[in-house]
C-alpha cells in the first residue's frame, strides 16, 4: 500500500525531469546557427498549433460576446428610422436624427429625462448604501449558536430571492393596499378613519423600493459572506481570545476586516451595474401616483417603446444608457489612475 504511491511519485518525477532535459536540448539546438532556420519554422508551427487549440477554446465565448453584446448594437439603426413593424425596416422612413432632436427639443422633455436619471442613480446609490446590510446580517447570524435556528433563519431570509417581483407585488398589495391587511388592522383598532396610502403615493418611493429590494435580497446577499466567514483562519480567533477579546471585539477586529476584501469586490461590481437596476420591480409597483419618482431608465424606455409604441424613440433613449455607462467607466478609470497609478481599461 505504501510503496505504490511512492513509485508513482518517482515515475512522475522522472517524466518531469525528462521534459526539462528536452527543453534544454531544444535550447541548445536553437543556439546552433546551422539548424536555426528549420527550428524556427518548427517552433512557429508548434506554437501555431498550440494557440489554434487555445483559440478554439475561446471561440464559443467570443461568439457569445459578439452575439449578445455587439450584434445588438446593430439595432441602434432603428433610432434613425421611423420604424413600423408592419413595413419592416426597409419600408420605414429614414428620419435621420429626428428622435434625438426631439429628446432635447423642449425643456420639459429634458427635465423628464433628468428626473429619470435622478431616480435611477438615487435608487442605485441607496442600493449600494444598503449593500452593507447583508454583511452585518451575516456577521450576526454567524454568532447564533443554535444550528437549527441559524439554518432556519438563513433559509427563510434566502427564500424571498426566489419569489418573482410580480408575486412580491401581490404580497405588497394584499398587505398595503387601501383595503389591505395593514389598513384593515389600523382601521379596526380605530387608529385611522381613512385608509393610509402606501402604494399609490409619491412619498418615499425611493426608500420603499430600496426596502423591498433589501427584503428580497438580504438573505441571498448574506450567503457569500457566510461562506467567507467559514473560510477565516480559526487561529486568528484563538489568538485573539487568548489576548482576552470578547465576542463583539472578535467581530469588530477579526470577522469584519477579514470580510472587507469580499465586500469591496462586490461593491465594485455593483458600481458597474449602477444604471442596470432592472425594471421588473418598478414596473409592477408603478402607478399614476408614483410614476414620477419610480421611473428608472429601463422602465422609461419600456414605457415609451412598448407601452407608448414609439420603438424608434425608445431606441434613441436606450442609447443614452450606453453613453452614460461609457462616461461612468471613463470616470472610474480616471479615478483609479489617480489613486492607484494604473488604469483599469
Partner 1 sequence: MKLPKKAVAVASALAMVGLLTSCIGGAPEAERAAITEFPDKWDDEITIDVFDELANYMGVQEGWFADVVKKKFNMKLNIIAPNVAGGGDTLYNTRVSAGNLGDLIVVGKGKKLDELVKGGLVSDSSPYYPAMENVEKFDTAVTHLNDGKDGVYAFPTSVSSIKPTEPSEGIDPTFGPYVRWDLYKQLGYPELNTLEDLLPVLKDMQDLEPTAPNGAKVYAISLFKDWDGNMMVTAKQPTTFYGYDERGFVLAKADGSDYQGLLDDDGEYLRTLKFYHEANQLGLVDPESTTQNYDTMWSKVQNGQVLFSWWPWLGQAAYNTDANTAAGKGFELAPLKDMTVFSYGAEAYGAGPVITIGSKAKDPERIAAFIDWLYSPEGTYVNNSQTMGAAGPQGLTWDLDDSGQPALTELGKQAFIGGEAEVPAEWGGGSYIDGGSTLNVSAVLPADVDKETGLPFSYKSWPSYQELVKTPLSEDWKAKMGDAPTTMDYLKDNDQLLVAPGASYTPPADPSEIETLRNQVKAVIVQYSWKMSFAGSEAEFDTLRADLQEEAKGLGYDKVLEFDMETAKAQNEAREEVAEKLG
User: Which of 297, 313, 319, 320 touches partner 1 by CB under 8 A?
Assistant: 313
The grid cell for 336 is 483609479
For the chain, give the number of residues: 345
**Using CB under 8 A, which of the segments 20-28, 207-215, 233-241, 301-309 binds partner 1?**
301-309
Of 4-12, 146-154, 170-178, 234-242, which segment contacts partner 1 by CB under 8 A?
170-178
Contact 314, 301 (CB under 8 A): yes
CB of 309 to partner 1, least distance (A): 5
88 is a contact residue toward partner 1 (CB under 8 A):
yes
The span from the CA of 152 to the CA of 176, in Å, is 27
- Identity of the residue, 101 or 143, whose beta carbon is nearer to partner 1 in the bound complex: 101
**What beta strand segments (E) does 261-311 contain?**
none
Instruction: Count the Cβ atoms, other than its own, within 10 Å of residue 204.
Output: 13
Q: Is 276 in the site for partner 1 (CB under 8 A)?
A: no
**What is the gyration radius of the CA atoms in the chain, in angstroms?**
30
Using the rule CB under 8 A, is 77 a contact of partner 1?
Answer: no
Candidates 26, 89, 207, 268: give the one binding partner 1 (CB under 8 A): 89
List the beta bridge partners of residue 222.
none
Q: Which of 141, 214, 304, 319 binds partner 1 (CB under 8 A)?
A: 304
Q: Applying CB under 8 A, what is the total number of residues that bind partner 1?
A: 55
Q: How far is the CB of 117 from partner 1 (least distance, A)?
A: 16
Q: Which 3 state secondary structure label does DSSP give 82?
A: strand
Q: Does 93 bind partner 1 (CB under 8 A)?
A: yes
Among the listed ranges 28-36, 37-45, 171-179, 319-327, the one in contact with partner 1 (CB under 8 A) is 171-179
Q: Based on the shown chain and the rule CB under 8 A, indicate whether residue 69 belongs to the binding site for partner 1.
A: no
213 within 8 A of 160, measured Cβ to Cβ: no
Residue 173 binds partner 1, judged by CB under 8 A: yes
Nearer to partner 1, 67 or 330 (CB): 67
Q: Which is nearer to partner 1, 131 or 184 (CB)?
A: 184
The phi-psi region of residue 204 (left if phi > 0; otherwise alpha if psi is between -120 and 50; otherwise beta) is left
Phi, psi at 195, each rounded to 5° = -60, 140
Cα distance between residue 6 and residue 11, in whole Å? 9
d(CA 104, CA 318): 15
* Nearest CB to partner 1, comparing residues 281 and 310: 310
Is 114 in a helix, a strand, or coil?
helix
Per-residue HEC secondary structure of 200-237 comes to CCCCCHHHHHHHHHHHHHHHHHHHHHHHHHHCCCHHHH
Question: Of the two residues 134 and 305, which places its CB atom closer to partner 1 in the complex?
Answer: 305
Restricting to residues 23-52, which ones interact with partner 1 according to CB under 8 A?
Answer: 51-52
Near partner 1 by CB under 8 A: residue from 8, 20, 25, 55: 55
- Min. distance of Cβ 233 from partner 1 in angstroms? 45
Distance CA 283, CA 29 (A): 69
| 234 is an interface residue for partner 1 by CB under 8 A | no
The answer to the question of residue 281 lying near partner 1 (CB under 8 A) is no
Q: In this structure, what is the dihedral angle of CA atoms 58, 64, 70, 73, given to the nearest 10 degrees?
A: 180
Residues in contact with partner 1 by the rule CB under 8 A: 51-52, 55, 59, 62-63, 66-67, 70-71, 74, 82, 84-91, 93, 95, 98-99, 102, 106-109, 111-112, 173, 177-179, 194-195, 197, 199-200, 287-289, 291-292, 303-304, 306-313
Amino acid at each position: 500500500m505504501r510503496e505504490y504511491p511512492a513509485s508513482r511519485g518517482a515515475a512522475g518525477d522522472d517524466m518531469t525531469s525528462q521534459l526539462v532535459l528536452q527543453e534544454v536540448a531544444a535550447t541548445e539546438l536553437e543556439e546552433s546557427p546551422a539548424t536555426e532556420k528549420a527550428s524556427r519554422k518548427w517552433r512557429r508551427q508548434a506554437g501555431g498549433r498550440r494557440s489554434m487549440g487555445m483559440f478554439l477554446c475561446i471561440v464559443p465565448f467570443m461568439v457569445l460576446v459578439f452575439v449578445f453584446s455587439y450584434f445588438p448594437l446593430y439595432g441602434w439603426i432603428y433610432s434613425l428610422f421611423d420604424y413600423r413593424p408592419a413595413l419592416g425596416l426597409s419600408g420605414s422612413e429614414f428620419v435621420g436624427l429626428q428622435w434625438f432632436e426631439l429628446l432635447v427639443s423642449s425643456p420639459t422633455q429634458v427635465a423628464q429625462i433628468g428626473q429619470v436619471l435622478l431616480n435611477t442613480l438615487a435608487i442605485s446609490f441607496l442600493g449600494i448604501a444598503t449593500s452593507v446590510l447583508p454583511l452585518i446580517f451575516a456577521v450576526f447570524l454567524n454568532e447564533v449558536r443554535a444550528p437549527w435556528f441559524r439554518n432556519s433563519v438563513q433559509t427563510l431570509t434566502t427564500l424571498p430571492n426566489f419569489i418573482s417581483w410580480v408575486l412580491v407585488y401581490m404580497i405588497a398589495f394584499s398587505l398595503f393596499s387601501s383595503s389591505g391587511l395593514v389598513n384593515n388592522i389600523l382601521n379596526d383598532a380605530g387608529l385611522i378613519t381613512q385608509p393610509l396610502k402606501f402604494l399609490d403615493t409619491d412619498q418615499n418611493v425611493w426608500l420603499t423600493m430600496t426596502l423591498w429590494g433589501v427584503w428580497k435580497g438580504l438573505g441571498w446577499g448574506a450567503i457569500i459572506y457566510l461562506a467567507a466567514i467559514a473560510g477565516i483562519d480559526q487561529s486568528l480567533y484563538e489568538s485573539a481570545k487568548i489576548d482576552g477579546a470578547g465576542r463583539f471585539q472578535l467581530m469588530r477586529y477579526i470577522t469584519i476586516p477579514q470580510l472587507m476584501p469580499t465586500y469591496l469586490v462586490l461593491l465594485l461590481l455593483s458600481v458597474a451595474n449602477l444604471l442596470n437596476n432592472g425594471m421588473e420591480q418598478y414596473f409592477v409597483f408603478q402607478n399614476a401616483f408614483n410614476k414620477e419618482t419610480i421611473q428608472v431608465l429601463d422602465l422609461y424606455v419600456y414605457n415609451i417603446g412598448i407601452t407608448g409604441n414609439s420603438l424608434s424613440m425608445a431606441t434613441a433613449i436606450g442609447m443614452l444608457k450606453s453613453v452614460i455607462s461609457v462616461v461612468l467607466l471613463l470616470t472610474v478609470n480616471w479615478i483609479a489612475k489617480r489613486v492607484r497609478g494604473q488604469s483599469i481599461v
